[in-house]
Amino acid sequence: MATNRTFTMIKPDAVEAGNIGNILKMITDGGFKIVSLKLTQLTTADAKAFYAVHAARPFYGELVEFMSRGPIVAAILEKENAVEDFRTLIGATNPADAAEGTIRKAYAKSIGENAVHGSDSDENAAIEGAFHFAGREEF
């Protein structure tokens, strides 16, 4: 059964560009409730662990370096059909392919520095949320 939560990160490129507020507004305007929220920074080890599923991909080293180079915003979001609807709101991985009105169309720089993360399944949303937050930080 689908759960009603997903997990997101506003990535270092978007934080550096001053787009935290703009992106949170798109998220709440999109009907998502913010359940947990923090500004934090991943260590190299954190980024490696979070993206372990991509360890064999050629861009893994670049991805780990990028994701740990500066602050990120981590959040758990709630909405009916959250995982799928949030993937629609963020748009395609490559901003060149992202639809108008999506977060990546508006704020992503490139396929590697693409402004936001969104979980790809209910199972991963739960794992990724737990990676960043203790249960007592969820509302």
Q: Which residues are catalytic?
A: 117
11 is in an annotated binding site: yes
Partner touching 117 among Mg ion, ligand DAT, none, CB below 5 to 8 Å by kind: ligand DAT
Contacts for 19 with CB less than 8 Å, ≥ 6 apart: 10, 107, 115
Question: What is the residue type of 37?
Answer: L
The answer to whether 2 and 83 have CB atoms below 8 angstroms apart is yes
Cβ-based nearer residue to ligand DAT, 109 or 137: 109
Helix ranges restricted to H, 3-134: 12-16, 20-29, 44-50, 60-67, 82-90, 103-107, 122-132
Asked if 40 is part of the footprint of ligand DAT (rule: CB under 6 A), the reply reads no
The DSSP 8-state label assigned to residue 52 in this structure reads G
Considering only 111, 122, 124, 126, the residue that binds ligand DAT (CB under 6 A) is 111
Considering only 23, 26, 47, 63, the residue that binds ligand DAT (CB under 6 A) is 63
Report in angstroms how near the CB of residue 71 gets to ligand DAT at its nearest. 17
CA distance 68 to 85: 27
Cβ-based nearer residue to ligand DAT, 81 or 139: 81
Asked if 122 is part of the footprint of ligand DAT (rule: CB under 6 A), the reply reads no
CA distance 139 to 89: 23
CA distance 83 to 78: 9
Asked if 93 is part of the footprint of ligand DAT (rule: CB under 6 A), the reply reads yes
104 is in an annotated binding site: yes
Chain residues in the site for ligand DAT (CB under 6 A)? 54, 59, 63, 93, 111-112, 114, 117, 120
